[in-house]
Structure 1
């Protein structure tokens, strides 16, 4: 499906010379919206607020004007292109990438990526936006069509965030992580709000959520595209009473890794909210440990269910192996029953 050329670059001939057309901002930077005209003169704090907004609009237009300066689309070896200096994604979804590969294979790369000359490595480039397109092109073994511009760090991150807002929305937690990473690199709140298209209050909540949840736990869960701000905040409220290492052990199991990131998020919530079993009502309680003490199994039966809890060093790996071989194990169980009964 054809997409609108958001960076407004054309491979066609240059327009005929003549009176220059006035510059217009066809795609204003996200987060900067000119205030509506009012007949009454605002007073007090309102005057100051509108003055600040006007300054932001002018600054946004200046950035957009610089980004809109025309450059030719060129073809670059993907091996010479590095990612942005600040990540905005928790990985690229394999299914979405496969679909993009098929699309580019059938129709070609319709929209170029935006890169800048690498600020450190001579002869290399750094992506402002188009990471997924770059990954798809690499799989196809083609050269990537790109616009090369001299961008400051500030212009790069604004372009990066703006493109994601316009094309493929990041999940809430990815946007929040992006905000924190930008703040850690000393970008101003105004720049971050512009990149994400959010106001000051929303940005503060994003940063607060990430500050309360360990990054390693977020990365183990994944993007969780169906999980919004409210549920991430609820998870943050549950964590002070939790052992993060136990949660990471749950998420590291083979069967859990095969689940979607939304399902992994729910598994963490379930682990934090489930009530502990009342062992006084348990029908039986057994333990088993390997000779090398690398794994220990606690088996609990209450008549209606049977639970295996794996502990110690190899617990996650052994649990993943069990999950991956359930079909064979169940077959062996059925075979043993037939042997014992002679049926």
Structure 2
């Protein structure tokens, strides 16, 4: 059975479809944030599209797309100028600014309309923040899917703006593990670097995660490194991603080549007690559970006491110096 398009106005009450469905249960429960979105979408049946001057519509809030290119906006503007605005945007009134609105979805269309000075055909809906995010997320499923990195940035923005995790999961139609992966990538790679790369629709989650891991391990100023690559001369965002990935990979290999070897601590009877590694971020002591399993267990049980003792001994030495 075909999945119903939630953004398509429902048929009139006396249509064949209504007669056939009879007393079927509603698709969504009449509670919670989804209830508000359901009611909002039902309002589409009235075809209540209004003409609103674009200077009355504000664009702030979480974005599910990276920046639009001038060429992309210009192409859409030319189409609207010739054929009119075929698909309305959605806005919601601002309670603290009577007569003004905030965009819910349709930012690219709004930008195109602003460029040619045309009023926007808009659906006006009174929505809470959560309902607006859910509506924005649902609308995504009826157009070109955002890329992984666009979804990751959107998820991080929603989290930073205080949205509850269930709302973020519903808006993006993802589960908790995927949300964790997305936020890790979005918080590891500087947003300025992501903006320079672009949406990269051909690059999936795994490659972005690999890039985040390389970026974390390189300990480099990624914004400076990527700025020096001259990405503005690389035509596609997929190619820009590849160039950035190669550059950070080379830095990571160079860092790895200059790292000092691990220091092995060996007991008087020739057993390996521990391996000590020094890095710019941490000093790591790895105990051997092969050569000295009982000692490793004892150290685990007494680590707090022994480390505090060593710290006090170090402080005493510092004071005596």
Give the CA deviation at 1:164: 1.8
Distance 1:5 1:81 in 2: 27
Cα distance change on mapping 1:124 and 1:58 into 2, 3 Å: closer
CA shift, 1:142, in A, is: 1.0
Offset at 1:108? Answer: 1.0
Aligned equivalent of 1:97, options 73, 81, 89: 73
Partner in structure 1 of residue 148 of structure 2: 172
Q: Quote the Cα distance in structure 1 between the aligned partners of 2:229 and 2:213.
A: 27
What pairs up with 1:1-343 in 2 under 5 angstroms? 7-8=7-8, 59=32, 62-70=35-43, 72-245=48-221, 247-253=222-228, 255-259=230-234, 260-274=236-250
Give me the whole-angstrom Cα distance separating, in 1, the residues matched to 2:145 and 2:189: 22
Shift of the 234–87 alpha-carbon distance from structure 1 to 2, 3 Å rule, reads: same
Segments of 5+ residues of structure 1 without an aligned counterpart are 30-54, 277-343
User: Gapped runs of 5+ residues in structure 2?
Assistant: 255-321
Q: CA deviation at 1:147?
A: 1.0
Deviation at 1:140, TM superposition (A): 2.0
How many residue pairs were aligned? 240
Structure 2: distance between partners of 1:250 and 1:68: 46
Q: Per the alignment, do residues 205 and 160 of structure 1 end up closer, same or farther by CA in structure 2, a change over 3 Å counting? A: same
State the match for 1:327 in structure 2.
none
Aligned to 1:304: none
Using a 3 Å threshold, how does the CA distance of structure 1 residues 100 and 25 change in structure 2: closer, same or farther? farther
Check whether the contact 2:92–2:126 (CA below 8 A) recurs between aligned residues. Answer: yes
Question: Which structure carries more helix by proportion?
Answer: 2
2:153 aligned counterpart, secondary structure? helix
TM-score (norm 2): 0.65
TM-superposed deviation, 1:9? 5.6
CA distance in 1 between partners of 2:6 and 2:228 (Å): 42
Q: Is the 8 A contact 1:217 1:244 kept in 2?
A: no
Q: Which secondary structure state, in structure 2, belongs to the residue aligned with residue 186 of structure 1?
A: coil
Q: In the superposition, relative to structure 1, how do residues 159 and 23 fare at CA in structure 2: closer, same or farther (>3 Å)?
A: farther
Task: Give the Cα separation in 2 of the matches to 1:255 and 1:213.
Answer: 18
- Pair 248,130 (structure 1): closer, same or farther in 2 beyond 3 Å: same
Write the distance in 2 (CA, Å) between the matches of 1:174 and 1:254.
22
C-alpha displacement at 1:250, in angstroms?
A: 4.0
Q: Measure the CA separation in 2 of the matches of 1:85 and 1:222.
A: 20
Secondary structure at the counterpart of residue 68 of structure 1: helix
Per-residue Cα deviation, 1:73-110 (whole angstroms, up to 9, x for no partner): 11011011111421222201333323322321222111
Q: Is the 8 A contact 2:89 2:122 kept in 1?
A: yes
Q: In 2, Cα distance between the equivalents of 1:248 and 1:200?
A: 29
Deviates more, 1:247-256 or 1:80-89: 247-256
